[in-house]
Structure 1
Amino acid sequence: MITGVAESPYARHPGSNVTTRTVLVDAARRALADAGLAPADIDGLGVASFSLAPDHAIDLAVSLGLRVRWLMDSANGGASAIEMLQHARSAVEAEDAKHVLLVAGDRLNPDAFVRLVDEYNSATRDYLSPLPTGGPNVLFAMLTQRHMKRHQIGREEYGKLVVTQRSWAQANPGAVYREPMTLDEYLRAPIVADPLSIFDCVPVVTGANAIVVSGEATGSAVRVRALKALHNHDGQDGDGLDTGLGEIAPELWHESGIGPGDVDVVSVYDDYPAMALVQLEDLGFADDGDIRRLIEQRLATRELPVNTSGGQLSAGQAGAAGGMHGLVEVVGQLRGTAGSRQIRGARVGVVSGYGMVAYRYGACANAAVLEKIV
């Protein structure tokens, strides 16, 4: 179960004294305090970061003064948080550890970000960077074009999702962008890669998130009711308009004993609006395939609370912390600590992870159903 969560404040322009290590350590200490635990209580550590190198999880353990029996480095981007949760859950169930600290985050200065984008993997380095494509925006612009054609929707539909998430962000003091946004402002925004505008592309920020996974409840704990993963589900031979979540969703709901209609709050990995919608459809929140109806009748009206922190599109994407941001938000909602954006009576939440562009789109996908312990 999850016994502690925290976020090291996100910043668009961090001070010169802020490093990847400092934000990871800050998030870790905040999560320990939230769980009511001391460093001596922690015997497991998992870390996800693009910019901690050349250091690894063991180096962060030294910085935090941790003696651990279970150690993990994750390198799967937006899927890292739930991947680490999957393994940490198994560790505490097997009694390999009692309390596992999981932390994810980055500080990517402009030069480091360019290197990350250009050398993300060998496919990017060898085939995309020489063009140059300028990063994943071009790939997901093409995917968005395919999504628009499949569902016969336009930029206005994506704009309604983005504007709704910005309205959620207004109630999140930790969101980097909280200014109100209208649909007209969205539609008039500069195009980055047609049809993506600046508001469709996650803003890069500095920050970190952390959670504590324990074998026994301490304080206000949240139970992992079900967790499933499927990576490289199509060998990159598909069109990117499903994430693998569609294949694991029946198992996820069967194991949890509930269905999409029983969920009170949702977080999906929103690197781009189309991908948020793809994951919602894969998970069964648009089982009739009518994406326009999902947007207009459920998302824009807040009938279905999705990405209540503002998501990465408004709160920011702190590198590898992006996949953990929604996990921390949903746990907060289930614990009743989300402030003025709190969903009344929230008891069950679902969180998805997605990422790691292999050639044309993300190859990793996972999801967890979380439940408030009454």
Structure 2
Amino acid sequence: MTRRGYEGIAVAVPVTVPYQRFSTQGAPWFLGQVLAALVKQAGIAKDDIDGLCVSSFSLSPDTAVGLTQHLGVSPRWLDHIPMGGASGVVAVRRAARAVQAGDADIVACISGDTNHVDSFWQMLGSFSGFARDATWPYGSGGPNSMFAFITAHQMRTTGAKREDFGRICVAQRDNALGISHAMFRKPLTLDDYMNARVIADPIHLFDCVMPCAGGDGVLVMSEQRARDLGLPYSQVLAATERHNAYRDDPIMFRGGWAVDRDELFGMAGIKPEALDFVQFYDDYPVIVMMQYEGHGLCGEGEGVDFVRSHTLTVDGTLPTNTSGGQLSMGQAGAAGGYLGLVEAVRQLTDSPLGKPVPDAEVGLVSGFGMITYDRCLCTGGLILARA
């Protein structure tokens, strides 16, 4: 079956509630700040928003529908996407379909999470009963040990070295310099990376994201509506999502992007080589390396050679995570799944927080989220183009 394209859909008004290491404000406050910024920057009334898509981990025990009362909105289309790093891609894909179907005219896709002193540990404890029950008897838990497992396997099977993951982290730090709300704004050298303390071998300090609080969001509408409102926007060329791919693999060494990449690029009418930049979910650098492979920028197992042969900074041969990614900006809970999305829209509407990618016309946003005991279950891809 041929899937319908995404013609006529615009993504506009990328907003960020500046990240902060800790906050006493709750998730509804951050989500409300995102919505308020969307309304203000779009120059519309709050009642003009008739679709709402929400992503948040710390919103619980409240819900997306409860949030409608708290924020004073009355959408005729509502979705809750608790898919972590895949949330932004999936939110835009589903919002685009709602606009195409006439179920909503303007959809606010919002994400936000708080970070109290102990909220990260509370989230880990309730994040996944499947993962908790599988790992607790072995004295293990949380993402560091799981991604150490995946990283070690990648190193054994592909010849990747710590220096290769370091190249990703160092390049992304360079991209983040000058962005005021990045958690890390000091230059990072490869020596700094290599000499950092061990967290969960082979993962060291700079392989790990910094939990923080913040929020991000965009508006999804028709291109005609965006033009009528006088809004700069990016076009949706293609989008896919895939869950629980390669479920028979004994350990995660690939992601679900590969299942749908031919359809993704075919729908967009381009080849991977045409991309001017990529925004990859990056809770750990090994996942960035996997996404080069998963989206066909190189062959399976060749991600390490790709990283060695390309420069990943904004002015490089393939700019990657041009705002610094989570490894430099921080991980604001589920908003981490929106970080690449808002940066892609900014690059394509000439409003990046940091350095612009020269002559950027088309970019890829890649989502990845919801780790269990040995892999992440949600993947997705979104190709956006300059209007």
Match of 2:325 among 294, 306, 311: 311
Shift of 1:288: 7.3
3-state secondary structure, aligned to 1:230: strand
Is the 1:32–1:212 contact (alpha carbons within 8 Å) kept by the matching residues of 2?
Answer: no
Q: Note the alpha carbon deviations across 1:121-180, whole angstroms, 9 max, x for none.
A: 221232223443241111110100111122212101111110010000103223111101
3-state secondary structure, aligned to 1:129: helix
1:221 corresponds to 2:221? no
3-state secondary structure, aligned to 1:185: helix
Specify the alignment match of 2:6 in structure 1: none
The 5 A counterparts of 1:262-301 are 262-287=274-299, 289-300=301-312
Shift of 1:289: 4.6
| TM-score, normalization by structure 2 | 0.92
Q: Which range is displaced more, 259-268 or 57-66?
A: 57-66
Specify the alignment match of 1:363 in structure 2: 377
3-state secondary structure, aligned to 2:164: helix
Match of 1:258 among 251, 256, 270: 270
The one-letter amino acid paired with 1:344 is: P
Provide closer, same or farther for how the CA distance between residues 361 and 236 of structure 1 changes in structure 2, counting only shifts above 3 A: farther
3-state secondary structure, aligned to 2:342: helix
Is the 2:323–2:353 contact (alpha carbons within 8 Å) kept by the matching residues of 1?
Answer: no
3-state secondary structure, aligned to 1:50: coil
The one-letter amino acid paired with 2:273 is: G
Match of 1:12 among 18, 21, 29: 21
The one-letter amino acid paired with 2:114 is: R
3-state secondary structure, aligned to 2:266: helix
Between the aligned partners of 2:72 and 2:359, the Cα distance in structure 1 is 38
1:351 corresponds to 2:365? yes
Specify the alignment match of 1:154 in structure 2: 161
Specify the alignment match of 1:40 in structure 2: 47
Is the 1:39–1:64 contact (alpha carbons within 8 Å) kept by the matching residues of 2?
Answer: no
Between the aligned partners of 2:110 and 2:239, the Cα distance in structure 1 is 19
Match of 1:2 among 11, 24, 30: 11
Give 5+ residue unaligned stretches, structure 2: 1-9
Q: Which range is displaced more, 329-338 or 208-217?
A: 208-217
Is the 2:294–2:300 contact (alpha carbons within 8 Å) kept by the matching residues of 1?
Answer: no
Q: Note the alpha carbon deviations across 1:329-366, whole angstroms, 9 max, x for none.
A: 01000001115511121110100100111331101100
Specify the alignment match of 1:242 in structure 2: 254
Between the aligned partners of 1:322 and 1:238, the Cα distance in structure 2 is 27
Identical counterparts, % of pairs: 37
Between the aligned partners of 2:232 and 2:99, the Cα distance in structure 1 is 18
Between the aligned partners of 1:227 and 1:300, the Cα distance in structure 2 is 24
The 5 A counterparts of 1:115-134 are 115-134=122-141
Shift of 1:3: 2.0
Is the 1:227–1:369 contact (alpha carbons within 8 Å) kept by the matching residues of 2?
Answer: yes
Match of 1:61 among 55, 68, 71: 68
Provide closer, same or farther for how the CA distance between residues 37 and 254 of structure 1 changes in structure 2, counting only shifts above 3 A: same
Is the 1:20–1:107 contact (alpha carbons within 8 Å) kept by the matching residues of 2?
Answer: yes
Is the 2:362–2:384 contact (alpha carbons within 8 Å) kept by the matching residues of 1?
Answer: yes
How many corresponding residue pairs?
A: 371
| TM-score, normalization by structure 1 | 0.95
Between the aligned partners of 2:340 and 2:290, the Cα distance in structure 1 is 17
Between the aligned partners of 1:238 and 1:95, the Cα distance in structure 2 is 43
Specify the alignment match of 1:138 in structure 2: 145
Between the aligned partners of 1:331 and 1:86, the Cα distance in structure 2 is 14
Between the aligned partners of 2:253 and 2:305, the Cα distance in structure 1 is 18
